[in-house]
Amino acid sequence: MDHSPACKDKKKKTIDQSMLLCCKLYISESRNHAALDAIERAARLDPESVIVNKFEDRAYNRVRYTIVSYVMHDSTGSAIYSPLQQTVMAMAEAAFGAINLEQHSGAHPRLGVVDDIVFHPLARASLDEAAWLAKAVAVDIGNRFQVPVYLYAAAHPTGKALDTIRRELGYYRPNFMGSQWAGWTMPEILHEKPDEGPTSICPARGISMIGARPWVALYNIPILSTDVTATRRIARMVSARGGGLPTVQTLGLVHGEDSTEIACMLLEPNQIGGDRVQNHVEMLAAQEGLDVEKGYFTDHSPDMIIEKYMKLTSEDRN
Q: Distance between CA 140 and CA 137 in Å, rounded?
A: 5
Element (H, E) at 176: none
Kindly provide the b/e burial profile for residues 34-67, where b requires at least 16 CB atoms within 10 angstroms of the residue's own CB: ebbebbeebbeeeebbbbbbbbbbebbbbbbbbb
The answer to whether 108 is a known catalytic residue is yes
Q: Distance between CA 81 and CA 87 in Å, rounded?
A: 12
Query: Are 50 and 309 a contacting pair, CB within 8 Å?
Result: yes
SS3 17: helix
Element (H, E) at 54: strand 50-57
Q: Which of 104, 108, 255, 280 is catalytic?
A: 108
What amino acid occupies position 316?
Answer: D
Backbone dihedral angles phi then psi of residue 294, each to the nearest 5 degrees = -65, 130
SS3 62: strand
Residues marked as catalytic: 108
